[in-house]
Amino acid sequence: MTEHYQHRARKRFGQNFLHDAGVIDRILRSIHAKPEDRLLEIGPGQGALTQGLLASGAQLDVVELDKDLIPILNQQFGGKSNFILHQGDALKFDFTSLNAAPNSLRVVGNLPYNISTPLIFHLLNNAGIIRDMHFMLQKEVVERLAAGPGGGDWGRLSIMVQYHCRVEHLFNVGPGAFNPPPKVDSAIVRLVPHAVLPHPAKDHKLLERVVREAFNQRRKTLRNTLKALLSNAEIEAAGVDGSLRPEQLDLAAFVRLADQLAIQPPPVAD
């Protein structure tokens, strides 16, 4: 892509634009968009991925926050019938307004690192319309998303995302692929919402609460960290050893704890 615009990258919008054609191509091949697909790109920036996504023939909606990039995107892609541009904050975007069929929306984004976790949670609230998601994220975040129990990466993010999705760490991308280069390594992750939840909780909110509480002090035993929510007897009734630390439990065990809590939920915290 020729760089004929003069846009100064803004730090507050997390702007690190992809310029490595090999990396762009590898991302597009991982997504493998087809003409019948319904795509949503978060933060198209100067269109590094947008161009190839549109070339697939798929219908593409994009959400970009930076007003200064809107004319640049319109000039480049405004004439294409499969392109719809929304100016605004993806964290506040109403994904149901896209009227996508269940399990159809394919979400893509080289995400601003400062919004990646809240954005993933916002998208998971709409998991029913999403077919898959491909994101460029900080490598450490991808490692946490893809982690299994037993290590320091396993925590609230891994558990709540794996509750909803299968997670695949596809490949890593060094800082040199971006302009300006970020200070950290990046990676591409694929998230695929489960057709049927493998470990459904009776109440999803209680699962969030148990996981948040447990990992608030990850060095302590569950008996200690969950004291305000469950007695040791209740923890054991869920088939969990209260002397373990939170990072030793798998998703299924957290769901059993949440279901135990559902029997007699505590008052809602402030």
Min dist. Cβ of residue 180 to ligand SAM (A) = 10
Selected from 7, 13, 194, 218, the binder of ligand SAM by CB under 6 A is 13
Task: Tell me whether residue 97 or residue 264 sits nearer to ligand SAM (CB atom).
Answer: 97
CA–CA dist 93, 104 (Å, integer): 17
Q: Mark the segment that binds ligand SAM (CB under 6 A) among 7-15, 127-135, 169-177, 199-207.
A: 7-15
| Rounded Cα gap, residues 252 and 210, in angstroms | 13
Question: Mask: binding to ligand SAM, 111-130, rule CB under 6 A, as x and -?
Answer: -x--x---------------
Interface with ligand SAM, residue 187, by CB under 6 A: no
Query: Is 16 annotated as a binding-site member?
Result: yes
Task: Flag whether 250 is marked binding.
Answer: no
Q: Annotation-wise, does 64 bind a ligand?
A: yes
Task: Please say which residue, 14 or 242, places its beta carbon nearer to ligand SAM.
Answer: 14
Q: Is 133 in the site for ligand SAM (CB under 6 A)?
A: no
Site stretch for ligand SAM (CB under 6 A), options 37-45, 160-168, 198-206, 220-228: 37-45
Q: What is the C-alpha to C-alpha distance for residues 36 and 15, in angstroms, rounded to an integer? A: 30
Site for ligand SAM in 39-68 (CB under 6 A): 42-45, 48-49, 63-66
**HEC assignment per residue over the chain:** CCCCCCCCCCHHHCCCEECCHHHHHHHHHHHCCCCCCEEEEECCCCCCCHHHHHHCCCEEEEEECCHHHHHHHHHHHCCCCCEEEEECCCCCCCHHHHCCCCCCEEEEEECCHHHHHHHHHHHHCCHHHEEEEEEEEEHHHHHHHHCCCCCCCCCHHHHHHHHHEEEEEEEEECHHHEECCCCCCEEEEEEEECCCCCCCCCCHHHHHHHHHHHHHCCCCCHHHHCCCCCCHHHHHHCCCCCCCCHHHCCHHHHHHHHHHHHHCCCCCCC
16 binds ligand SAM (CB under 6 A): yes
| Cβ pair 60, 54 in contact under 8 A | yes
For residue 89, say whether it is annotated as part of any ligand binding site. Answer: yes
* 13 or 223: CB nearest ligand SAM: 13
90 contacts ligand SAM (rule: CB under 6 A) = yes
Interface segment toward ligand SAM; rule CB under 6 A; list 12-20, 71-79, 216-224, 242-250: 12-20
Q: Which residues are annotated as a binding site for S-adenosyl-L-methionine?
A: 16, 18, 43, 64, 89, 110
Q: Which residues are annotated as a binding site?
A: 16, 18, 43, 64, 89, 110
What are the residues binding ligand SAM (CB under 6 A)? 13-18, 42-45, 48-49, 63-66, 69, 89-91, 110, 112, 115
